[in-house]
Amino acid sequence: MALDESVWKLFQTHLGYSDEEMVKFRSDPRNEEVLIKSPALMNKTIVAEVVESTGCNGQHKVGDKFYMDGSGCLISKLCPKKMCIYALQSFAAGVFAMNELFYAGVDPNEMRFKRAGCWDVGVHCGGWGHIVVELRIEDRKKP
């Protein structure tokens, strides 16, 4: 299935690509494959839920959830009011892996290693605190 020219134009505008940059972007067949599969991923929500928390300076507690759209962009209005940058960076690679699995036709929830922890090692190892998050992907809830 080839993409309609209007989709390419829409995406060029979305990314702010020049015509020259768009030629380069379109020359990679992986980009077309991703764009074809993207609408299905945009109907998903990626959730990183805190499953362990001890001494977290950002005050993240078990049950706190970070919500992202299918492309991995935070949906800030659904997230905790304060978000620790070290918590966020801990699950970035997992979100990338979920995207890759989805584009490869594999259910991202089947990922074997779904947990990540902030880099602070906690008070017992010379740090302050530590949290662990678990990732999952869900169907987007309709308002």
pLDDT per position as a tens digit, 88-104: 999 999 999 999 999 99
Q: How far apart are CA 58 and CA 84, in angstroms?
A: 5
Please check whether residues 35 and 48 belong to one and the same domain. no
Please check whether residues 22 and 54 belong to one and the same domain. no
Helix ranges restricted to H, the chain: 5-15, 19-26, 29-41, 85-90, 92-103
pLDDT tens digits along 18-70: 999 999 999 999 999 999 998 899 999 999 999 999 999 999 999 999 999 99
Q: Is the pTM of this model over 0.75?
A: yes
Please check whether residues 55 and 105 belong to one and the same domain. yes
Please check whether residues 32 and 64 belong to one and the same domain. no
Residue 96 near residue 110 (C-beta atoms within 8 A): no
Residue 132 near residue 116 (C-beta atoms within 8 A): yes
The boundaries of the domain holding residue 37 are 5-41
Please check whether residues 49 and 12 belong to one and the same domain. no
Please check whether residues 28 and 51 belong to one and the same domain. no
Nearest to 79 by CA among 53, 98, 56, 58: 58
